[in-house]
Structure 1
Amino acid sequence: MRWTLRISFLLLLALAIFVVSPFVALYDLSKAVEAKDAGRIAERVNFNALRVSLARQILGDYLRTQDLGGLDPEVAARAGTVALNPVLEELVTPQAVIDLLEDGELREASSGGSAIGFRPSSLGTAWRTFIASESQGFRSISIPLPVDEPRDRQFRITLRLSGTTWRLTGIELPEPLRKELARRAAAAGK
């Protein structure tokens, strides 16, 4: 009986550590952003996955602004990707991640956002962030930030477990910033 209780306790402790670990990783990423430590950010961000996440969002808005004139949507998506490349190149760098997570804005693009780093000012804020987060299976979690902002002004940070490290794999942008980036892509494509 004693061994059963010890093993049960250890399993519950391991589960608690696992459940809290993405928030610790997000906090560490926020500290790296505050310190403007590009090396630590590069360790915590999967830039290929981040590029795909941003391209999917911006490309949708970009294609809605274009007159396709009966063009096949798949062909239009490929052409849009070419026009989108210069904008994406600016977004998938450690400095761009710092800009975005630091104040919710990018250089030359204003979303009217607020800081999206994970800096719980109280236990209540940390708890609301935990409750608002959505697990996407065993190895991925989506966290809305800042949790106290209206949903249309929130960013959704997606972290994915890679080995023993949680890495940033996606940032769902609020609509005003997506539209601004789609506008920049349209301007770059002309």
Structure 2
Amino acid sequence: MKKLIALILAIAIVVLGWWFASPWMAMRGLAGAAQAGDTAELEERVDFPALRASVSDQITEATRRRQGQGGGLIDALGGAVAERIGREITDRALTPEAVGTLVVSGSLAAGMLPERLRGQDIDWDVERNGFDHFRAVGTFEDGTGGPTLLFARDGLGWDLTGIELP
């Protein structure tokens, strides 16, 4: 009976250890692959169809919010065109290299960062969202908020599935 209790306790410790440590290990692995420029590893750690859908949804939402401020047929047509162009750009721009740049610099294109943020390190804080999701919230050295990376559990590992841009 003591062996059974010890086994159950050992299994519980391993499961809890994985639950607490795996998001940090996933973020560390993603950051390591990004810093090394390992595109094959980035492709494994990122669910690109889900990531592209996440960014496209944000573009669509922003476009529709902006349309609501204007009004009229020309604004609606312009919004539809901008939405379509945004989706095309997203599909072509979200590459392993771009994700690596995002993780290292805090921006999909380092040149797009405001001048005051260029050259600053970005730190990632992990926030749990239940058993199957976590967020890595970016913060620049000066305290400015950066992007938030959204992860979903994939078996015993984690995949980057979305980005919330600041």
What TM-score, normalized to structure 2? 0.77
Q: CA deviation at 1:57?
A: 2.0
Partner of 2:22: 21
| 2:83 paired residue number | 81
DSSP-derived class of the 2:71 partner: coil
Q: Is the 8 A contact 2:122 2:141 kept in 1?
A: no
Alpha-carbon shift at residue 140 of structure 1 (Å) = 1.0
2:131 pairs with 1:138: yes
Q: Any idea what the Cα deviations from partners look like across 1:110-141, whole Å, max 9, x if unmatched?
A: 243644465xxxxxxxxxx35xx131x32111
Matches of 1:5 and 1:149, distance apart in 2: 48
Rounded to whole Å, the distance in 1 between the matches of 2:135 and 2:150 is 4
Amino acid paired to 2:134: I
TM-score by length of 1: 0.69
Gaps of 5+ in 1: 119-128, 175-190
Does the residue aligned with 2:112 lie in a helix, a strand or coil?
coil
Q: Distance in 2 between matches of 1:141 and 1:77?
A: 32
Q: Secondary structure of 2:113's match?
A: coil
Taking the TM superposition and a 5 Å limit, the aligned residue runs for 1:1-150 are: 1-2=1-2, 3-66=4-67, 69-70=71-72, 79-105=81-107, 106-111=109-114, 112=117, 114-116=120-122, 118=124, 129-130=125-126, 133-135=127-129, 137-146=130-139, 150=143
Amino acid at match of 2:98: A
Partner of 2:161: 169
The percent of aligned pairs where both chains have the same amino acid is 27
Deviation at 1:77, TM superposition (A): 7.0
CA deviations on 1:62-94 (whole Å, 9 max, x unpaired) are 3444575346xx998765431212331343101
Give secondary structure in 2 for the equivalent of 1:169: strand
Which letter maps to 1:161? R
Change (3 A) 1:27 1:89: same
Q: How many residues align?
A: 159
Ranges in structure 2 where 5+ consecutive residues have no aligned partner? none
Q: Which has the higher strand share?
A: 2
